[in-house]
Structure 1
Amino acid sequence: MSSSPSVLLVHPPSYSNALLHIPPTSFLVLAITACCLYICGTCVYNLFLSPLAAIPGPWYAAVSDFWLTTHVARLQQCMTIQALFERYGPVVRVGPNKVVFCDLTTMRSVYCVHKFDKSPFYKALLTNNNDHAMTTLPHAEHAARRKAYAPHYNLPHLTQFQPDVNDSVIKVLNILENQQGKTSVSCPELFRHLMVDVISTTVFGSRSGALDNYAMGIRDVLSQAICDFPTRGIVRSFIPTSVWSIVCRLPSETWRRICNSDNTMAEFVRGHIEDTSARMQAAPIDHEKGDRIPLVQRMLQNRVNSAHDSLSVQNIVSECMGHLVAGVDTTTTLLSYLFWELSRRKDIMKHLQAELEEHMADRHVVPDFATLCKMPYLNAFIKEGMRVYGPAPSLLERVVPSTTASKIDDGFDMMGYALPPGTVVGTQAWSMHRDSEVFPSPETFLPERWLSVEGTAGEDERLNRMSQHLMPFGVGSRVCGGQNLAQIVLRVAVAAIACNFDISANSSETNEHTMRIKDAFVIHPATKECKLTFALRKC
């Protein structure tokens, strides 16, 4: 009996088994090689093959966002971009997909004509973990939100709140009088409490008591939360959502207070909304045309009359929080810098005081807003303050859409450069306000530049050109809704304080070094402090 021949079966090598025999060091080498090839390929594309490759700018900015991010982290973005404009011209590429410009015609095209949507950058400014008008990216959605509060900020309506603004400013005068000019005052702290009371009045219908707490030396929780919120936003933008809750538990009382600033404001706003809603339900309010209506009441009334989602309670809370943060920080900073200029420019202070004395026989009685607007030097002083120290001078980022009204094809033409859809573009007030062809000696604080010189040809054209370049509140349909309120407060506060006090600074406390501008979307002094002395003027 013969046996069957044995058959040797040979299996092809298994790739999985082969991979198992590759040394770990080889895997590491492969991974590093692949990573390097990807980085090199990306760099080559960004530098030479990208649709943005022809746009002027530093090569290291075109390669990666890292370079600009380092300047953002150092609070130097505005000045860095200004330096790029001075070197490369009015159009500069500052990132693989980001182009900035400094040009009036292009500004109008982007923000006023085409009304490009905002970039995702603004999501770092969420309040109550929810959108509000400023963080709503699509233009159409923002327009729907804006309708709910726009009538509140009409100038005729806001002027009805001037008596309340005057009362709050009088409280500031009393606080300064009690200091008797013997000790310096922290302007950011004092003016923050002023603005919290003012905005609480216009938004909720009553003062929050911030100035009363300040006068008694009691820490005002709401003012502190508003002060902390920008820091929270900056840090939050760099930390993934999954890690944020862990970071908030770090064992530091100050850090936890900063992390909780959003919740602190939300609780304050929600409480006022509930109180206002209860009053409205108990006694329905029938407003006559022209009546003074707090913002919360207006939005709640609109909510009753509308089923639009933008008027949900959560959105009303977020909107009111957004108005608190935006209105308090910006005006506080600008007031601080305005009075610092008065402290070091006695010529400006004397000129301003002389004009104010003509209209303020009683130094504790502030003229109405219409009268304040007729004071040439006061208005020139405030305009120059907004030009040099505009509190929000940073990039206003927008995104090129897939289609534009100017072209059938996709993309957007910017001063001869074709930008593909998705490109982030923007200008900044810092640079628009420092165009030397429009503002000679742009770094010099010179209120007189806003005054017309009689008998000089072309004055109207010169002043009009400067006004077109002035954009301290933004530009276009996304311009700051609260700009009229800021204009009222700035004039009332400057008029009342400058008329009653001589302002000075101890150079060891407050000087050009301590007041160096740092920008984190909004600006602040390098030391976040501005200590000045207010000495009561003799009658």
Structure 2
Amino acid sequence: MTVSNITLTAVSGLCLLLLYKCVLYPAFLSPLSKIPNAHWSASVSPVWMLWKRFRSQNNQTIHKAHAKLGPIVRLSPSEISINCVDGGIKSVYSGGFEKHEWYPRVFGSLGTVSMFTMTGSKAHSTRKRMMSSIYSKSHLQSSPHMRLISEEVLYNRLLPLVHTAVSSNSPVEVHDLNQGITMDFVSSYLFGLANGTNFLQDPAGRQKLLELYQGRKPYEFYHQEVPDLLSWLKLVGIRLIPKWCDAANDVLDAWGLDLCDRAEQSLKSTDPRVEPAVYKQLTQALLKQGPAQGDQLKQRRLDIACEMYDQLTAGFETSAVALTYLFWELSRSPKVQKELHDELLTLEPTLAYPRPQGSTGLPAPKSIDALPLLEAVVTETLRLHAPIPGIQPRITPYPSCSLAGYNDIPPNTRVNAQAWSLHRNPEVFPSPETWQPQRWLKDANPSSDIDEMRRWFWAFGSGGRMCVGSNLALQEIKLVVAAIYTNFRTSIVADDDMEEIDAYTVKPRGEKLVLKFEPV
């Protein structure tokens, strides 16, 4: 009887402890209990939010919660979301909050991590110092590598291809085309023009590789949100991710390593057509840390390849999405398209194709960057159709912090913000679901508070972890748009399912946009 009483007491005590830790404390006593719940169960269980993410409803779900409950909401017992600048993204992303393990779970490759996926700020800062100068605006605008790449991609690949389609009165599927454009630009800058891809002139190879790359995306949820479940089930022979994803990863890893190995053979070259600008920069920076031998040398090769692969895939995918939505919006707005064409004609030399007799070279990147309407068109597209609109998870610091008016937020709480919601604040962006480039032009819209809009603009993130390749993306996008709309006008042939998928990195649900190009 005594043993039974002791057992009963122990079981009762355990039940009470679990009740306190799993229900009473998180729901009523934790500092997070004061934050509005996105769902009635959010304070005691992550299941509701996990279900929304499993069903690819993350961005919309969080946005609706903020619209209803304000600038901070609780998504699960230890996860919150913020949607404000002061006391929000300014505190978290410019305040040194460390990255969550969510990043290396999904975006790591070759068994190692890149600058983007490093969780610790010290390791990230060290790597960023190695890379930031080669991605600075001043360097890119004066780079002989970028000048040659731009000439090659525009005048030897893209414009002849579009001109042929116009001559044969054939429509063009531009989303696929844009992925070729951006892959050729980014790979050539990373590895050298002679070593980069030529996807524009190899549509079969482009589509084969992109199928492998995109096919794995629906399974990212498991790595992001339930990695332990993934591991446990795998131990008992249950696979949530099919084997072909492993095979696809192997092919992509081998492809990335091959690009690096070819760049390695060109390290001694100073010819801008051959020299691998970014690869060389990182390799030389790592060499300054000391020589490597044996296993260290093998690991360094993988570290470099992982970094290059991350910059390549992130750079091509996001810029391609931005170009697709920019072409779509301009094709629906003939008036803006005409005004942009008129502005582009002020460039000297012209970007006309075929080139007028005696015309050589490209306009200075600074002159393209200074065009106000082009800037407004690109910025508004990135606001409404941010290629990465999804969450950017961070971890709250020890011992506590304050966010959006709430104090004593405990350490190791996952905190996210997302461009999808920041860019749709109607108090900052009136009629936020409409594409209005003029909102960024003071002369066209004197009532616009452009400085405030720029504080909320988050297409490239903010703080020390903001996108290192943002200047490259903007220079490349503006140049392509300038070349196309100097020479052609576009109209829609088919734009079914142009709504963005709900994901970290988006694309049109239909994965295509068919346009008709006509000479201006």
Specify the TM-score bucket, using the shorter chain as the normaliser. 0.7 to 0.9
Letter in 2 for 1:483: S
1:184 positional shift: 3.7
Residue 24 (structure 1) aligns with: none
Are residues 257 and 412 of structure 1, via their aligned partners in 2, closer, same or farther at CA, if it must alter by over 3 Å? Answer: same
1:208 aligns with 2:193: no
- Residue 306 in structure 1 maps to residue 289 in structure 2: yes
Cα pair 1:343 1:532 within 8 Å, conserved: no
| CA positional deviation for 1:453 | 2.4
Report the counterpart of residue 474 of structure 2 in structure 1.
487
Match of 1:70 in 2: 51
CA contact (8 A) 2:86 2:404 kept: no
The CA deviation at 1:525 is 1.5
Pick aligned residue for 2:403 from 414, 419, 436: 414
Q: C-alpha distance in 2, partners of 1:371/1:86?
A: 40
Deviations 1:16-59 (A, max 9, x none): xxx9xxxxxxxxxxx9xx99995796234322232211111232
Alpha carbons 1:184, 1:533 under 8 Å: kept: yes
Q: 1:115 aligns with which of 89, 96, 100?
A: 96
In the aligned structure 2, how far is the partner of 1:323 from the partner of 1:191? 17
Q: Displacement of 1:272 after TM fit?
A: 3.3
CA distance in 2, matches of 1:37, 1:421: 22
Equivalent position SS for 1:93: strand
Tell me if 1:363 matches 2:352: yes
Q: Which moved more, 1:347-356 or 1:393-402?
A: 347-356
Which of 150, 157, 161 in structure 1 is aligned with 2:132?
150
CA displacement at 1:382 relative to structure 2: 0.4
Flag structure 2 segments of 5+ consecutive residues without an equivalent.
Answer: 356-361
Q: Say yes or no: does 1:56 pair with 2:36.
A: yes
Give 3-state SS (helix, strand or coil) of 2:43's partner. helix
Aligned to 1:9: none
Q: CA deviation at 1:93?
A: 0.9
Output aligned runs, 1:16-35, within 5 Å.
none
Greater C-alpha radius of gyration? 1
**Deviation at residue 469 of structure 1 after TM alignment:** 1.1
Q: Choose 475-484 or 155-164, whichever is displaced more.
A: 155-164
CA drift of 1:327 comes to 0.6
Task: Tell me whether 227-236 or 335-344 shows the greater mean CA deviation.
Answer: 227-236
Residue equivalent to 2:431:
441
- CA deviations on 1:65-124 (whole Å, 9 max, x unpaired) are 221222222222112111111111111111111111111112111111x21001121122
For residues 83 and 64 of structure 1, the distance between their equivalents in structure 2, rounded to whole angstroms, comes to: 19
Out of 508, 514, 518, the position equivalent to 1:532 is 514
Distance 2:270 2:200 in 1: 32
TM-score after normalising by structure 1: 0.82
Residues 212-257 of structure 1, C-alpha deviations (whole Å, 9 max, x = no match): 212xx4555544444345445445445624666977899xxxx655
| Letter of the 1:502 counterpart | R
Give the whole-Å Cα distance in 1 for the aligned partners of 2:151 and 2:238. Answer: 43
Contact 2:389 2:503 in 1 (8 A): no
1:362 Cα offset (Å): 4.8
Following TM superposition, by how much is the alpha carbon of 1:259 offset from its aligned partner in structure 2, in angstroms?
3.2
SS at match of 1:99: strand
Corresponding residue number in structure 2 for 1:186: 173
Paired residue type of 2:452: R
- 2:351/2:482 contact within 8 Å kept: no
Taking a change above 3 Å as real, the CA distance of residues 278 and 37 of structure 1, as seen in their structure-2 partners, is: same
Query: Residues 362, 430 of structure 1: CA spacing in aligned structure 2 closer, same or farther, 3 A cutoff?
Result: closer
Give structure 1 stretches of 5+ with no counterpart: 1-11, 20-30, 403-409
Residue 23 of structure 1 corresponds to none
SS in 1 for 2:412: coil
Aligned-residue sequence identity (percent) comes to 25
Change (3 A) 1:285 1:131: same
* C-alpha distance in structure 2 between counterparts of 1:483 and 1:361, whole Å: 25
CA contact (8 A) 2:315 2:473 kept: yes
536 and 466 in structure 1: CA distance in 2 versus 1, 3 angstrom threshold: same
Number of residue-to-residue matches in the alignment? 488
1-structure distance, mates of 2:102, 2:283 = 30
Query: 1:249·1:256 contact (CA, 8 Å) conserved in 2?
Result: no
Q: Secondary structure at the match of 1:439?
A: coil
Is contact 2:423-2:432 (8 Å) kept? yes
Give the superposed CA RMSD. 3.4
Asked whether the 8 Å contact 1:85–1:102 carries over to 2, the reply is yes
1:139-161 Cα distance to aligned partner (Å, 9 max, x none): 11111121222222112322321
Aligned match for 1:519, one of 502, 505, 514: 502
CA contact (8 A) 1:77 1:519 kept: yes
Q: Does the Cα contact within 8 Å between 1:204 and 1:272 map onto a contact in 2?
A: yes
Are the structure 2 counterparts of residues 454 and 536 from structure 1 closer, same or farther at C-alpha, using a change threshold of 3 Å?
A: closer
Given that 1:62 and 1:95 are in contact with CA atoms closer than 8 Å, whether structure 2 keeps it comes out as yes
Query: Could you say which residue in structure 1 is the equivalent of 2:376?
Result: 380
Aligned position for 2:73: 92
SS where residue 63 of structure 1 aligns? coil
Quote the offset at 1:260 in angstroms.
2.9
Confirm or deny: 8 A CA contact 1:157 1:292 kept in the other structure. no
- 1:260 is paired with a residue whose SS is helix
2:26–2:33 CA contact under 8 A, matched in 1: yes
2 CA distance for matches of 1:156 and 1:96? 45
CA distance in 1, matches of 2:518, 2:243: 40
Match of 1:294 among 277, 281, 284: 277
The residue aligned with 1:467 is: 454
CA distance in structure 1 between the partners assigned to 2:232 and 2:147 by the alignment: 45
- The offset of 1:286, in angstroms, is 7.8
* TM-score normalised by length of structure 2: 0.84
Checking the alignment, whether the CA contact within 8 Å between 1:99 and 1:425 is kept in structure 2 is yes
The residue identity in structure 2 corresponding to 1:212 is Q
Deviation of 1:317 after TM superposition, in Å, equals 0.9
Q: Distance in 1 between matches of 2:451 and 2:206?
A: 45
Amino acid paired to 1:486: A
Q: Secondary structure at the match of 1:94?
A: strand
Give the letter aligned to residue 54 of structure 2: A
CA-to-aligned-CA distance 1:237-288 (integer Å, 9 cap, x gap)? 45624666977899xxxx65543333223222322333343444xxx56899
Match of 2:420 among 430, 433, 439: 430
Which of 156, 162, 165 is residue 150 of structure 2 equivalent to?
Answer: 165
State the distance in 2 between where 1:169 and 1:62 align: 54
